A and B are shown apart, each in its own frame.
Chain A
Amino acid sequence: AQSVSQHNHHVILSEAASLELGCNYSYGGTVNLFWYVQYPGQHLQLLLKYFSGDPLVKGIKGFEAEFIKSKFSFNLRKPSVQWSDTAEYFCAVRSNDYKLSFGAGTTVTVRA
């Protein structure tokens, strides 16, 4: 069975600061990794995904993530956050039967 661990429960930072959210996973099969964002009052949206190839993945809204196989990690980064990045961020791993397992989520609060 797969599992996902997100290290930070709540991150507070100022606008223009850099953001990095940690994600570690465990899964014995082919790895499909995702980062989702949930803005207040809205549904989950896909930020980016990794299936294979270049381990540095670029997503929407200036986010990127790096897959490091040796560390079983898929950390999310953004060089300069905006107030509108305030949201809940979820890392997820997908198994071969398309089931998603989510991490506990990280609440990101960006202060203007």
Chain B
Amino acid sequence: GAVVSQHPSWVICKSGTSVKIECRSLDFQATTMFWYRQFPKQSLMLMATSNEGSKATYEQGVEKDKFLINHASLTLSTLTVTSAHPEDSSFYICSARVPSGSGWYNEQFFGPGTRLTVL
């Protein structure tokens, strides 16, 4: 299968600061990536869809100004949590959709996640 990485794997920051999380597709180009949030003992909730070269589309209830998404290249999407607060502490997971031309066409592969703790 295809490989998706995330960096950092965990981060601790002070309230009010901004944190950037990177999602990379290592062996394929992903025109579409997705960002999810997972609270302890709960499911993954889709936050936004990241499209290469265009603006991200956010799910209802997700603040676009707080969770900035940039998909500047076919292998990298970044999620920046701006002015983080303790309630933003969560596990953030990205996935990348495999484009056409591959045996894994339209599959989504998930990154290992980033644990964010805001103090």
A contact residues vs B (CB 8 Å cutoff): 36, 42-46, 90, 97-105
Contact = CB atoms under 8 A, between A and B. Distances in A.
B100 interface: no
B46 A99 contact: yes
Contacts of B107: 46
Interface in B16-53: 32, 34, 41-46, 49
Given A43-B113, A44-B93, A102 B44 contact: yes
Interface residues of B, number: 21
Contacts of B42: 104-105
User: Which 6 residue pairs across A and B have the least CB separation, nearest first?
Assistant: A44-B110, A43-B112, A102-B43, A104-B43, A102-B44, A43-B110
A99 B49 contact: yes
Interface of B: 1, 4, 32, 34, 41-46, 49, 93, 95, 97, 106-108, 110-113
B107 to A, nearest CB: 7
B108 A100 contact: yes
B119 to A, nearest CB: 23
B43 A90 contact: yes
A42 B9 CA distance: 11
A85 to B, nearest CB: 19
A90 B44 CA distance: 9
Given A43-B111, A43-B112, A104-B43, A98 B106 contact: yes
Contacts of A45: 110
Given A43-B93, A44-B93, A46-B107, A103 B43 contact: yes
B38 to A, nearest CB: 9
Given A46-B107, A98-B97, A104-B42, 11 more contacts: A43-B110, A43-B113, A44-B44, A44-B110, A46-B1, A100-B34, A102-B45, A103-B43, A104-B43, A105-B42, A105-B43
Nearest to B97: A98
